[in-house]
Amino acid sequence: MVSARTSNAKLKDDGSNLPFAFRHYTPDQLKEALRKMYLIRRFEEGAEESYTRGLIHGTMHLSIGQEASAVGISMPLAENDMITSTHRGHGHCIAKGADVAKMFAEFFGKETGYCKGRGGSMHIADVSKGNLGANGIVGGGIPIAVGAALSAKKQKNGKVVVSYFGDGANNEGAFHEALNMASVWKLPVVFVCENNGYGMSTSTARSTAVANVADRAVAYNMPGVIVDGNNLSDVAEASHNAVERARRGEGPTLVECKTYRHRGHSKSDRNRYRTKEEIEEWISNRDPIHLFEDQLKEFGFLDDTQIADLRDSVAKEIADAIEFAKDSPSPDLNNLTRDVYTD
């Protein structure tokens, strides 16, 4: 393994040989990207365990295996740029800067949660960080993102909006209406399809007429880009190009991240529509965190000891967040209608 100093020299003198992220981001930024990937993975593992122990009620949709997509897309975004998310949105929230303690409190239905315990797993929002909210309706966040992008364009504030959605949403009418409007008005929005191969239990091959969701971009006169959604550098490059295009006033881009969810669609999913061999292949050979770790070590940005330290610090942060949620107050029934109406 080359030293960090050698790697930095390569960045300056021979950067064309390095992946995009290693040419365009500092070692500290790359380390932070890995930390966020760990944070998403450990958060969801902690949520899964809490659900199993009966601490969380209802259901949840985990994005374990899709961490590179969430983090890579967010890398070129400024704090005041905006996102809309999905029912599988924990990673998007964390990548955009969400506090995992407040997220766990929301999961646990506590007053200290982002939505004071009323929203749960699928409805976390933090407008202060540009997170306009996750959405339990398939494709529900896409028109919201277009509206936010129209507002940004009218105000000339330079903000860009990213709309995450799954492959199932590309067959919803809202998807087509939103892409058409965004292109006609050249709005500063980036549409990001996280194609994990299945809309609930139906494969994209059985539900979508085109081979790739990004192929549909041509109908709306915008670039359609397909990337390996488990390669953080490839995702960051696609996001960088799309965000810069949007900031220049050239309109939207459709980015399709080919990825995979290690868990089922939701906690009630028994995975009968996927083979064990398929799942194991993705986990063993295409895990996004392992791929990014290998790149960081190859180019001398981190070593095994530093990676272990980072994992340990994230594990402590998650443990502390769960304790915060446990110790937080539950809602008072007398406040049942609070925040339902405005004064």
Give per-residue pLDDT as tens, 109-149: 999 999 999 999 999 999 999 999 999 999 999 999 999 99
Is 72 a domain residue? Answer: yes
pLDDT value at 8 more than 80: no
| 127 Cβ neighbours under 8 A, 6+ residues apart | none
Q: How confident is the model at residue 270 (pLDDT cuts 50, 70, 90)?
A: confident
**Where residue 26 sits, what CATH number does that domain have?**
3.40.50.970
Q: For the purposes of burial, counting CB atoms within 10 Å of the CB of 294, is it exposed (0-12), middle (13-18) or buried (19 or more)?
A: exposed
Please indicate, yes or no, if residue 107 is contained in any of the structural domains: yes
What pLDDT score was predicted for residue 267?
A: 83
Residues 100 and 106 sit within 8 Å (Cβ to Cβ) = no
Give the number of domains in the chain. 1
- For 186-207, letters b (16+ CB in 10 Å) and e give bbbbbbbbbbbbbbeebebeee
Contacts 24+ apart (CB under 8 A), 204-211: 204/167, 207/168, 207/171, 208/167, 208/170, 208/171
Q: Is the pLDDT of residue 17 over 50?
A: yes
Task: Give the bridge partners for 164, in sequence order.
Answer: 192
Average pLDDT over residues 252-256: 98
Burial class (CB in 10 A: 0-12, 13-18, 19+), 1: middle
Domain contains 103: yes
The rounded distance, in Å, linking the Cα atoms of 199 and 215 is: 18
* The residue type at 45: E
CA torsion 155-217-229-58 (nearest 10°) is 70
Are 234 and 72 in contact by the 8 Å Cβ rule? The answer is yes
- What percentage of residues in the chain have a pLDDT greater than 70? 95
Task: Give me the domain span that covers residue 232.
Answer: 4-328
Size (the chain), residues: 343
- pTM for the full predicted model: 0.92
Is 338 part of a structural domain of the chain? no
Express each pLDDT in 190-238 by its tens digit. 999 999 999 989 899 999 999 999 999 999 999 999 999 999 999 999 9
Look-up of token digits 């929230």? 93
**Higher-pLDDT residue of 114, 56:** 114
Mean pLDDT of 304-325: 97
* The pLDDT of residue 15: 60
